[in-house]
Structure 1
Amino acid sequence: MKSTPRSILLAGCLALVSIGTNALGEPIDLNTGNRQFALPDFGSSADTLLSTGEELRLGQAFMQSVRESLPIIDDPFLDDYINGLGHGLVVASGASGRHFSFFLVDDATVNAFAGPNGYIGVYAGLVLTAATESELAAVVAHEIAHVTQRHLMRAYEDTQKLSLPATALMIGAAILGAQVSGDVGAAAITGIQAAALQRRINFTRDNEEEADRVGIAMLADAGYNPYAMPGFFERLGKATRIQDSDAPEMLRTHPVTTNRISDALGRAQEYGVRQRPDSLRFHLVRADLRQRSYRRPEQAIAHFRATLREGRYANETAQRYGYALALMRGGQISAARKEIKPLLAAHPGQAELVALSAELARRSGNSDEALRDLREAFALSPTSLPLRIVYAETLLDAGRPAEALQLLEQAARGGVGSPSFYALMVRAALQAKDEAATYRYRAEEQYALGDIEAAIDQLEMAVRQRGLSYHEASSIQARLDELKEDQEAMKDDPWNKQSRRDAN
C-alpha cells in the first residue's frame, strides 16, 4: 500500500507511544503473575500548547474517537465516583481552573490514559486491581500530572514545530493507537532509527519521573497515602519480572523499574504516611465493576455467593451490593430485594443502595414505592446528579414526563455535557410532546458526541417550531450561532468526520 504523508505521520506517532508503553502483548494478573491483565500505560498522556478554543475542539474530537473505539461505561453512579475522585485530586494539584473530565472504560486491562483538554480514561481492570483507594488515586494523580505538566506536547516540541492539524492527528493517533491497536504501534517501530528511539525513551522516562513527583505531592495534599504509588509500582514491577524477563531493553520501556520504585518511595517519605480508610463508594464501585466483568449473570451470582460464603471480601456491604446487582441482572428480583433491604437499613443515605432498592421496587411493580423512596432521598441530597437521573428515569417510567423534564433541565443549566444525560432529556421531551425541546436536547446530545453538523441541523429545526416564547427562541438562536462559529473554526480540524472519511 502506498504511504501518504498522513499514514507516515500516523506510523511515526504510534512508534512514539509504543516505546513509552509496556511491551507485553498479553494480560497479567498482578497478584499471581498469571496472564490476565495488561500493565497500565502510565505514559500514554497528551496535552497541548494551544489556545483555549483549539484545545476545547481538540478534546471534543478526541472524545468522539474514543467513544467510537472504546467501550465507555455509561452509568451515573460509576461516572460520579470517578469524577469525584479525579476532581478532588485536581483541586489538590492547584489546577482547578482547568477542564478535566474522567470516565471509565469497560475493559479488564489495567490501564489509564489522558487526552487533550483534560479527558482522562480509567480502565475497569485498574479499579479492580488497585488494592486500596489510594492506589487508584495514585494512578489517576499520575495521569493528571501528565496533563498539567504538558508532557506529550513538550515531547513534540523537542523535535519539531507542528501545525495544529498535524498536532491533532498525532495526539489522536498516539493515544488511540496505543489503546486500541498495540500491534500496529509495535510494527511501526521497525521504521524508526535506534538513536531516535533512545532519545524518545529518555524523554519519556524524564516525564515519568516528573509525573511521579507531582502525583505524589497531589496524593498527599488530597489526603491519600503517598506510599500507595511506590506500592502499586512494586506490584507492577513484580509482574513485569515474572512475564517479561527476556524482553529487549529497547522495548522494556514501561518504566516500572527498581530505580523508579526507589525514587517514588523517597518522594513519599517526604510526606509521611497518610492513614486514609477506603470509602464505601470505592468498594461499591468495585463490586459493580466485578459483577459487570462476568459475561453471564449466573457466573456473577456464583462468584458473589462463593465469596460471601467463604468470607473472601474487603467489605461485606459492597460484596452483598454486588450480589444484589448480579441477582437483579439474572432476573431474581425477590432474592435481590431480600439482599438489599438490610444494607439500606444500615446505610439509609447511600445513594447507590437507594437507587438499587428503587429499581427493584419498580421491577416488582411497585412504582409508587420507588418514587417515594427516590423523592425522599433526593430531598436529602439535592445536588446528587446520579439520584436526579434515576429519579427522572423512574418518573418517565411512571408516565410523568413533564416532571422528569423539569428535573433534568435544572441540572442542564449547569452544563452537564454527557451524551447519555441529553439522551434522557430527549426521551423526556418526546414523552412530554415538547417538539422544540426534543430538537434542542437532541442537538446537545449530538454536540456532546462530537457531531456538530447534526447538532446545528437539530437547532435549526428547533428554532422554527411554532409557539416558542421570545426567551426560548432567543436562547435557541444564541446556541445555534455559537455552534456555527465553532463549525467555522473546525473546518481545518483533521479529526472531524469528513476529514477522517477522506483519510480512508
Structure 2
Amino acid sequence: MHLASVPRRRLHNKYIRGLAAGIVLSVSALTPLHAQDTSLPTLGGVGGGLISDQQEAAIGRQVMQSLRRSAEQINDPLVVDYLASVVYRLVPYAPLENRDLKMVVIDSPAINAFAVPGGIIGVNGGLFLNAETEQQFASVMAHELAHLSQRHFARRMEQQETSAPMTIAGMLAGIILSAVTKSDVGIAAIAGTQALAVQNMLQYSRANEQEADRVGLDILADAGMDPRGMPEMFEIMMRQNRIQGGQPPEYLSTHPLTQSRIADTRNRASQYPNKEHDDTLEYHLVRARLQVLYSQSPQQAVEVFQAYIDGRGEMAEPTAHYGLAVAHLRADQPGQAEAILRDLLDKTPGRITYQVTLAEALMKNGKVDEAIALMQSALHRNPGNYPILYQLAAAQYEAGHAQQAADLYTQLTNQFPDSVDLWQKLADAEGQARNIVGVHRARAEYYILMGDLEAARRQLQEAQSKVPPGTPVREIVSQRLSQVTDALAQRR
C-alpha cells in the first residue's frame, strides 16, 4: 500500500504564471531589501566572470522572494529542522565559499531538489517519500551542494556569453519553474526570452553532472555517510521514469540521468571503504509525517500504519507507531495519538520529535496548559531548539498568553529572519497582545520578504505615527522606513 498515491494538493498554473512574472519584473532591480538588514546591499562586481558573488546573492534573494509568492511550502518545524540538520552535516565537507544557506521545502509529492545561486537549497516533500533511506536522501543534498560549490549555473551562463537582463530573468524563471513543475512548462511560460538558451541553461551538462557526482560522493564519505546512497537514489529515479511511461521525474528534467552515469556512480561509490551506515531514526519519523501529509486521507493513513504494526508491511516498529500517532492526529483523533506518543516517550524519554508531536496532540485534546508545561520542560533541556520553541509559542498563543507568544516569536524571527511564516505568526500574536506598533513592524517585515515594498512602507509609516518621538523604538522604525524608501527609489 502506498500512502502517496494521491497528492494532498498540487501546484497550480496560477502559481507558475505569477512566478515567471515575478522574476521577470524584479530581476532588473537587483538591490533587494533583506529582512532586518542594517544597510542596503549594492551590486558590485568582484570575483570576476559574468556573474559576481554579489550578483549570485542578489539572484538568490530574488528567487526566494518569488518562491514565497508563488509556491506552497511546508513550514512544519520538524521537517524544516531535519532538512537543516542533514544539510549542515554535509556542509563542512563541501568546498563552498558561502556557507550561509537558505532552505525551502516545496509542498509537492514529486521527486525534486534544486540549488540556486546565492546559496538556496530546495527540496520537494516528495523527495522524502521516495528516498527509502537517509543515505539516499543525503546523496541528493550532497549532489546539490556540489553544484553550488562548483558554481555550475554561473559557468553555464558564461559559456552562453550573454548578460541581457531579460535573458537572465528568463533563465531564473525557468530554473524555479522546473523546481515546482515540469521543465517544458517552465520554458513555455518564459515569454520574450531566448528559449533555446534557457533550455540549455536548465539542463546541466554531462560534465557538470559527473563533476557534481564526484564532488557529492566525496562530501558524503567525508561526512560519514554512505556514498552508495547516490546510485541507489538514481536507480529509484530511473524506476519512477519507467513507471511513469517515460515521463521523467521533475529532477531528471534538469539533471539528465543515463544508465551509464548510474554505473559510473556505482563504480566510484564502490571504491570508498565499505562500512556500515545506519540511518538516524529521525529521518524515518520525518518521512512518516510526510507520508501522512500526502496520503489520500488521514483515515487511509491510519489504516496503512496500523497494517505495518500488524505485520503486513516492512517498517521499523517505532516509525510505524509514530506514523500511526500522526495519522490519528490528522484524523482529529488526538486521544489515540496521545496514548501512542506517551508510550513512545516511555520507551525513549526526551526524544524531541515525540515531545513536540505530543504537545500537538495535547493542544488538540484541549490540554493546552499541559502542552505548555511539556514544551517548557523540553526547552529547559534543549535551549534554543527550533521545533520546541515553535510549538511552545503556538501553545502560548492558543492559551491566550499573547505576550509570551509574541516574545517567543520575536526570538524565532531574530534567529530565522527569512521566514514569512514566523513574521505572520508574530503579527498575529502582537495583535492579540494589543501591541499595534508590533503588528505593523511584523507585517512590514513580511511584506519586505514578499517583495511588496509599498505595503511595507505603509506599515512602517503607521508604526512611526504611533510611537513617540525620541524613543528607541521610534528610531528603529524610522531607520527601517528609510531603508525601504531608499529601496523603492532605486527600483524606479
TM range (shorter): 0.7 to 0.9
* Superposition map of 1:448-467 within 5 A: 448-467=449-468
Q: Secondary structure at the match of 1:413?
A: helix
The amino acid that maps onto 1:320 is: H
CA distance in 1 between counterparts of 2:398 and 2:240 reads 48
Q: Check whether the contact 1:69–1:180 (CA below 8 A) recurs between aligned residues.
A: no
CA shift in 2, pair 1:354/1:316, >3 Å: same
Q: Check whether the contact 2:183–2:254 (CA below 8 A) recurs between aligned residues.
A: no
How many angstroms does 1:224 deviate by? 0.8
Q: Check whether the contact 1:354–1:377 (CA below 8 A) recurs between aligned residues.
A: yes
Match of 1:402 in 2: 403
CA distance in 1 between counterparts of 2:478 and 2:53 reads 24
CA distance in 2 between counterparts of 1:398 and 1:188 reads 46
How many angstroms does 1:53 deviate by? 4.8
How many angstroms does 1:182 deviate by? 4.1
How many angstroms does 1:454 deviate by? 1.9
CA shift in 2, pair 1:81/1:198, >3 Å: closer
* Superposition map of 1:331-410 within 5 A: 331-410=332-411
Q: Mean alpha-carbon deviation: is it higher for 474-483 or for 233-242?
A: 233-242
Match of 1:323 in 2: 324
CA distance in 1 between counterparts of 2:202 and 2:267 reads 23
CA shift in 2, pair 1:449/1:275, >3 Å: farther
Q: Secondary structure at the match of 2:407?
A: helix
How many angstroms does 1:96 deviate by? 6.6
Match of 2:46 in 1: none
Q: Secondary structure at the match of 1:262?
A: helix
The amino acid that maps onto 2:117 is: P
CA shift in 2, pair 1:357/1:237, >3 Å: closer
* Superposition map of 1:47-126 within 5 A: 50-51=51-52, 53-95=54-96, 97-126=98-127
The amino acid that maps onto 1:128 is: L
| 1:393-426 superposed Cα distances (whole Å, 9 cap, x missing partner) | 1111112111222222233333432011111111
CA shift in 2, pair 1:239/1:150, >3 Å: same
Match of 1:309 in 2: 310
CA distance in 1 between counterparts of 2:274 and 2:464 reads 58
Provide the TM-score with structure 2 as the length reference: 0.81
CA shift in 2, pair 1:202/1:69, >3 Å: closer
* RMSD (Å) for aligned C-alpha atoms: 3.4
Q: Check whether the contact 2:111–2:130 (CA below 8 A) recurs between aligned residues.
A: yes
Q: Check whether the contact 2:93–2:219 (CA below 8 A) recurs between aligned residues.
A: yes
Match of 1:21 in 2: none
* Superposition map of 1:113-262 within 5 A: 113-177=114-178, 179-184=180-185, 204-240=205-241, 255-262=256-263
The amino acid that maps onto 1:314 is: M
How many angstroms does 1:120 deviate by? 1.9
Match of 1:414 in 2: 415
Q: Mean alpha-carbon deviation: is it higher for 171-180 or for 233-242?
A: 233-242
CA shift in 2, pair 1:160/1:405, >3 Å: same
CA distance in 2 between counterparts of 1:74 and 1:276 reads 29
The amino acid that maps onto 1:334 is: G
Q: Check whether the contact 1:87–1:100 (CA below 8 A) recurs between aligned residues.
A: no
How many angstroms does 1:485 deviate by? 3.7
How many angstroms does 1:172 deviate by? 1.7
Identity %: 34
Q: Secondary structure at the match of 1:371?
A: helix
| 1:305-364 superposed Cα distances (whole Å, 9 cap, x missing partner) | 122212524322122112111112212122121211111112222222112212222222
Q: Check whether the contact 1:138–1:226 (CA below 8 A) recurs between aligned residues.
A: yes
How many angstroms does 1:236 deviate by? 3.0
Match of 1:22 in 2: none
CA shift in 2, pair 1:456/1:222, >3 Å: farther
CA shift in 2, pair 1:197/1:91, >3 Å: closer
CA shift in 2, pair 1:339/1:245, >3 Å: closer
Match of 2:29 in 1: none
Q: Check whether the contact 2:66–2:450 (CA below 8 A) recurs between aligned residues.
A: no
CA distance in 1 between counterparts of 2:53 and 2:474 reads 29
CA distance in 2 between counterparts of 1:309 and 1:272 reads 38
CA shift in 2, pair 1:62/1:377, >3 Å: same
Q: Which runs of 5+ in 2 are unaligned?
A: 1-16, 21-48
- State yes or no: 1:437 paired with 2:438: yes
How many angstroms does 1:84 deviate by? 1.6
Provide the TM-score with structure 1 as the length reference: 0.79
Q: Check whether the contact 1:57–1:490 (CA below 8 A) recurs between aligned residues.
A: no
Match of 1:299 in 2: 300
CA distance in 2 between counterparts of 1:481 and 1:464 reads 14
Q: Check whether the contact 1:58–1:168 (CA below 8 A) recurs between aligned residues.
A: no
- State yes or no: 1:268 paired with 2:266: no
CA distance in 2 between counterparts of 1:278 and 1:175 reads 31
Q: Secondary structure at the match of 2:115?
A: strand
How many angstroms does 1:178 deviate by? 6.1
The amino acid that maps onto 1:398 is: A
Q: Which runs of 5+ in 1 are unaligned?
A: 1-6, 11-47, 492-504
CA distance in 2 between counterparts of 1:242 and 1:113 reads 23
